[in-house]
């Protein structure tokens, strides 16, 4: 591992620890040349499907864009960063479990809406209004109506 401070090619691992989730290894390193310390993370790299946009173009899946979309919908809402990370992780797992090389952007959007619905109803309506391109108040009312629990009829 190259030192980020002096660009030395040879660094020493001082300490290694498995993350709490068990999906990465954190390594503390020291550069023998400049004596600076830094941290690296080792993670499994799995290939995510390419995203096929509405216009037919393809783009690499971008975790940062996914997380940014969730954060934008959840702006000023009482949802922790850990909950956003967990939702992002669940969406990624679902996409990987599909086993597809390509996935429609609509499918990704539906997965985001499903997670937002569980996290925060206001954020769900915010995202849905942009994702589904609401044109009037009635469409907002329909989205809100979807969130209300369905009443069961009493047996006759």
Q: Which long-range contacts (CB under 8 A, 24 or more apart) does 18-26 make?
A: none
Residue 123, judged by CB atoms within 10 A of its CB (0-12, 13-18, 19+), counts as buried
Q: With beta carbons less than 8 A apart as the criterion, state whether 123 and 79 touch.
A: yes
Q: With beta carbons less than 8 A apart as the criterion, state whether 54 and 106 touch.
A: yes
Query: pLDDT tens for residues 124-156?
Result: 888 887 766 666 666 666 766 776 776 655 565
Query: pLDDT tens for residues 39-78?
Result: 998 877 667 899 999 899 999 999 999 999 999 999 999 9
Closest to 12 in 3D by CA, of 4, 26, 1, 25: 1
């Amino acid at each position: 591992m190259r030192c980020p401070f002096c660009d030395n090619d040879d660094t020493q691992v001082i300490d290694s620890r498995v993350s709490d989730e068990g999906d990465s290894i954190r390594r503390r390193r020291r550069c023998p040349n400049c004596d600076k310390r830094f941290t690296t993370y080792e993670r499994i790299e799995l290939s995510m499907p390419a995203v096929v946009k509405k216009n037919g173009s393809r783009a690499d899946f971008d975790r940062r864009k996914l997380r940014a979309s969730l954060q934008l919908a959840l702006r000023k809402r009482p949802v922790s960063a850990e909950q956003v990370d967990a939702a992002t992780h669940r969406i990624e797992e679902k996409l990987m479990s599909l086993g597809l090389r390509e996935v429609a952007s609509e499918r990704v959007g539906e997965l985001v809406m499903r997670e937002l619905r569980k996290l925060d109803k206001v954020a769900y309506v915010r995202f849905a209004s942009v994702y589904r391109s609401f044109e009037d108040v009635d469409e907002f009312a329909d989205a809100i109506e979807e969130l209300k629990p369905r009443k069961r009829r009493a047996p006759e």
